[in-house]
Chain A
Amino acid sequence: MYQSIENTTFMIAIVLYIASAVLSLLSVTGIVKKGGKVATSLALAGFITHTAAMVARTIGAGRLPFSNQYEFALSFSWGIVLSYLVLYRLYGFSAIGAFVMPLAILVMGYASLQSRDVRPLMPALQSYWLTFHVGTAILSYGAFALAAGISVIYLIDEKKKGSQRLVQDPEVSDMLSYRVIAFGILMLTIVIISGAIWAQKAWSRYWAWDPKETWSLITWIIYAIYLHLRLRRNWKGRAAAWFSIFGFISVLFTFVGVNILLPSLHSYAT
């Protein structure tokens, strides 16, 4: 029963997200006037059904949906929408949805291609560190996706004038993407550290240069470089925006590419 609740709510969530993204895009391109608020409400409605899907999965599997590629994609997209909604709540910029919701839809689409079987956790995954590790990864990846979306807005706004802009002041999008990346890198630090502590318990080594580990470190270094260029070399605006988009590509590679292309201890997560 939980499986069918999950499947239904998952489908509804995708449909609502697509509606939200389309309306958002129409509204930022000026085709529809003042669609932003409705688009955000659709995103919120989608988020609620998405949450319901995750709850159904959690009850059905008897644990949080954190342990295979489908579950992680389900949670990752949830994190993306969550960070968008939190930012909206704080600052009220609905235009960002036009660039963040497609990322959430992309990850949901990826989730829908994965096997949904509920399988018991293999011994190495039976750890409360799993919850902590993946929980922080969702927040971190969600934040990086959001920052990439804001950076796209910056790049668009930078070329426009005054009222044509999606966010009145490009400096504000620039600042927000920095703050969101700062949150993302703090979370990513915790992801890597909790992973190391867990590996120490499960495999006796806190660091083994496994490709997934290594790629999360690469992502971490990229964003660390971003922070320093910004703070000390005044790399703001355009350069920072491209950096943030580039960083998110590294996040996506860490999430999907490593599983598909590189052999890894983490590949049980497929």
Chain B
Amino acid sequence: MNNRIKKALSLVASLKVAIALLLLITIYIIIGTLIPQHATQALYQSNYPTLAPIIDALSLDAAYSSPLFISLVILFIINLTSCTLLSLPSQLRRSRSIYMPPFKAESEYRVEEEDEKMVKSYLKRKHYRIDTDEGGFSSGKFRWGALGATVTHIGLIVIFIGAVVGNIASDQEMISLLPGSTREFEEYGFSIHLDDFYLTFEESGAVKQYISDMTITNDDGTTHRQSMWVNNPLHHNGLGFYQANFGWTSDLLIRQAETGESLVSGLIRNGNTYFYQPHHLNIMLYGYFPNMDIDVNQMPYSINNREDNPFYAVVLTQFGVNVGSYIIEPGQVIPYEDIAITFTGSTPYTGIVVRSDPSYPIVVAGFIILTFGMFMSFYLYPRFLFYTNGKLYAESGKNGWVFYQAIKSGITAQRKTGKQ
């Protein structure tokens, strides 16, 4: 290979560059945690007047998807991949079952032990492979552990590939469903029907779970029922359904006051307005309070979501003028001219994240490889022993003293049991 290319390659694959990149990445993501993400330009202008241009230039308002950040990560992965590939031949050589490191006679990590037979039986018991030569023997185990760093790095690369796939191929939408409604997922060949959605409560009134009972109908007509809740998503044909939030839908009923004839009946969510055309009346449901109380500012709020003390706050306006504000119980009537306005009850609706993410299995595979690689590096590292002239030398590179301690106490224990 051309010398120049060789030089360039070893720079790309160097640990110096790796550490520089890791430091830059670290500094960048630290800044990302300090600056609020995805806020408006105005907020940065007012909170960080001097930094705002820098935030803008480096896209620090969307730090983790900015071109700068993505470039740093890509450079890092190139570096990691080339470094892993370049060191692979030597790692493979060291992991071969006949490999022995050079013997260091000056090593401090040695045990004085004349009884060669006893040492051998100890090593056999510990599954060491023993090669005899003149004047002693050499022995080793876990040579394949030399591949630990490589496996670790491959795990990281797989995770990174997963992240790229996830960014390109994942898709997500937010839907909200009322019990009794159905939603088609044509592309995926099925529909879901929300049979019921309900909350369960702790004694204190805090929500314990948000539970949806669903019926899934495939395009071929087969159906099955399944429930989902937080931490228990529903998966079907590559789509995942995740409980995300919920709210209340209230039943509005407008009747003719005298005859009781129903004029309008419909559903309305908190904060929404129904426009009643004949009277030019805006009926705004300020809020449904399932367990109402009044705060220090005389404003209604709900202690929790258990329907212990339900009330509706309703504001009527006509041509922009307030014509009445009410706090009413379910079924209680607001009379207005010749009509009677009531809220008869409320039903919770569920907000569900629907997500397809083909990258997840890749990432999980990367997680497993990474963890196993680290375990190999730290605990299944190659161990070597040399026995010569009544001395046993322990050699394990970076783990020197720790391995030596283990051998020393192992041999001592063996000597004791051997003498019995």
Residues of A within 8 A of B (CB): 91, 119-120, 122-124, 126-127, 171-172, 175-176, 178-179, 182-183, 185-186, 189-190, 193, 196-198, 200-207, 209, 211, 214-215, 217-218, 221-222, 224-225, 228-233, 258, 262-263
Contacts and interface: CB of A to CB of B under 8 A. Distances in A.
A171 B405 CA distance: 14
Given A201-B231, A225-B23, A228-B18, A186 B371 contact: yes
A185 B76 CA distance: 20
Contact of A217 (B29, B36, B230): B29
Nearest to B381: A182
20 contacts: A120-B208, A123-B208, A123-B209, A127-B231, A175-B402, A186-B371, A186-B375, A189-B374, A202-B230, A203-B353, A204-B233, A204-B240, A204-B242, A204-B353, A206-B360, A209-B37, A209-B63, A218-B30, A221-B25, A258-B33
A201 B232 contact: yes
Contacts of B265: none
Contacts of A233: 15
Contacts of B367: 193, 196-197
Given A127-B231, A196-B367, 13 more contacts: A120-B202, A122-B206, A122-B207, A123-B230, A123-B243, A175-B399, A179-B399, A186-B375, A203-B242, A204-B240, A209-B32, A222-B26, A228-B19
B398 interface: yes
Contact of B233 (A201, A207, A209, A215): A201
Interface residues of A, dominant DSSP: helix
Given A204-B353, A204-B355, A126 B230 contact: yes
Nearest to A185: B374
Given A91-B405, A123-B231, A186-B371, A221 B22 contact: yes
Contacts, number: 109
Given A123-B210, A126-B209, A204-B355, A172 B401 contact: yes
A187 to B, nearest CB: 10
A168 B163 CA distance: 48
A150 B401 CA distance: 16
A202 B231 contact: yes
Interface in B193-241: 202, 204, 206-210, 229-233, 240
A229 B172 CA distance: 41
Contacts of B244: 203-204
Given A123-B209, A124-B230, A190 B371 contact: yes
A232 B15 contact: yes
A215 B23 CA distance: 14
A147 B209 CA distance: 41
Contact of A126 (B37, B231, B398): B231
